[in-house]
Amino acid sequence: MKNLFALLSTTLLVTGASSVFAASSIDLTVQGLITPSACAPSLSSGGIIDHGKVAAKDLKLDNWTLLSKHSLQLEITCDAPTLLGLQGIDNQGNSHDPLNSYGLGLVDGKKLGNYVLIFVNPTADGAPISVLESRDNGLTWRENFPGDIWPASYLASFGDRSTGNWAPTPVQHLTSELRVETLIAPTAGMNLTNEVPINGSATVEVKYL
């Protein structure tokens, strides 16, 4: 009986120790997919929007000032039809509204303003295509209506609703006008006695879906 109790005690101790070890570990999985096709994006004019010199007296003290609108031509060329998305990255990080727009730099610690991006008349492989947007990194998609801004925090793509829901479609050659609208914040309290650079910078990154 004593030996049986000793054996039972040992068994319980081993079982308890095993449970402790299991709770102290976690698995790590590294996964992905290497795609044989690659896509190269490009922007006309070297991707530069130049507003030139803007007189401080022409800016509104108590309201936002919209500068002249500019457009670039966006072109994406892929080796083969590819499911892709576009992610905008604000290299300044000082927008008044980082969910929707990009920053223009600072004036003595104050935010100078914002700019937004709008897709106009996109075509894929020679045919018109709809602009899509996703706020959950591509899990779900909805149409970005013509003329609407591309929110800076959203993933963009191009597709249709042929399956019943909006979804990206593979594209090989895509072109679109990319309109840039620049707004200067109300200048009340902003030091504009010296020249201030309009200093926006963003990266448009192709993501493979």
State the burial class of residue 168 (Cβ atoms within 10 Å of its Cβ: 0-12, 13-18, 19+): buried
Is residue 31, in this structure, part of any structural domain at all? no
Q: Is residue 11 part of a domain?
A: no
What pLDDT does 87 receive?
Answer: 95
pLDDT tens figures, 164-175: 999 999 999 999
DSSP-derived secondary structure letter, 93: -
Question: Phi and psi dihedrals of 80, rounded to 5?
Answer: -155, 165
Neighbours of 90 (CB within 10 A): 19
Which of 17-31, 83-97, 113-127, 140-154 has the lowest average pLDDT? 17-31
Q: Check: CB of residue 156 under 8 Å from CB of residue 34.
A: no
CATH code, domain carrying 50: 2.60.40.1090
What pLDDT is recorded for position 41? 92
Convert the pLDDT of each residue in 112-125 to its tens digit: 999 999 999 999 99
Domain of 59, in residue numbers:
37-208
Q: Domain for residue 5, yes or no?
A: no
Q: Residue 123 domain-assigned?
A: yes
Looking at the structure of the chain, the number of domains it has is 1
Q: Is 68 exposed, middle or buried (0-12, 13-18, 19+ CB in 10 A)?
A: exposed
Asked, for residue 48, whether it belongs to a domain, the answer is yes
pTM of the model as a whole: 0.82
* Averaged pLDDT, 50-78: 93
Residue 174 forms part of a structural domain: yes
60 Cβ neighbours under 8 A, 6+ residues apart: 186, 187
Is 45 part of any domain? Answer: yes
Residue 2 is predicted with a pLDDT of 42
Give the highest mean pLDDT range of 14-23, 51-60, 148-157. Answer: 148-157
HSE value, Cβ hemisphere, 13 Å, CA-based, for 13:
6
% of the chain with per-residue pLDDT over 90: 79
Distance between first and last Cα of the chain: 66
Between 31 and 56, name the one with better pLDDT.
56
Inside any domain, residue 10: no
Task: Give the pLDDT band of residue 24 (cuts 50, 70, 90).
Answer: confident
